[in-house]
Amino acid sequence: MDKDDNTLSLVLCSGTDDRLTGAAVLVVGAAVMERKVEILLQFWALDAFRADRITKDHGVSEEAGPEGRAAWERHDGQHWSELLRQSKELGDVAIHACSLSMDMLDITQDDLDPLVDDIRGVAAFLGSADGGITFV
């Protein structure tokens, strides 16, 4: 068994609140169960981490449909950004911004919420993200 096979490696691409919340719940679970977590933020997920809009409404996936959206809006769980903040406090969780996506959105790290640790190229991310990648 690889020494790092316990790492949860996530690539977040979708920027809707439902998918980000699903991912954040996985992260919090991994963090409290003492699994290392490596996250790479791409495209719309990265956009959702912009400091000026992280807690704004990012919508839900189209597949939710009207009933799913209504159920989502009734649900009063914690915001995904708060779950991630708790995860970082409780465990070993690193959140990286994909440099390609930074270029595309034309932003710098100053535009991002402090939850984001740094900017990574994909090779560097893969170097730290052993154990298979989950893409959301």
Q: Is the four-CA dihedral 22, 108, 52, 88 of positive or negative sign? A: positive
DSSP 18-61: HHHHHHHHHHHHHHHTT--EEEEE-HHHHHHTBTTTTTS-----
Distance, in Å, from the CA atom of 103 to the CA atom of 2, rounded to the nearest integer, reads 34
Out of 4, 32, 71, 118, the only residue in the binding site for other proteins (CB under 8 A) is 32
**Closer residue to other proteins, CB minimum distance, 61 or 86:** 86
Interface with other proteins, residue 33, by CB under 8 A: yes
Are the beta carbons of 72 and 64 closer than 8 angstroms? Answer: yes
Each residue 59-98 as x (binds other proteins by CB under 8 A) or -, in order, gives: ----------------xxxx----x--x---x--------
Out of 29, 59, 68, 131, the only residue in the binding site for other proteins (CB under 8 A) is 29
**Residue 61 buriedness (CB in 10 A; 0-12 / 13-18 / 19+):** middle
CB of 10 to other proteins, least distance (A): 17
Residues 91-130 that bind other proteins (CB under 8 A): none
Interface with other proteins, residue 34, by CB under 8 A: yes
**Closer residue to other proteins, CB minimum distance, 70 or 100:** 70
- Which residues of the chain form contacts with other proteins (CB under 8 A)? 25, 28-29, 32-34, 75-78, 83, 86, 90
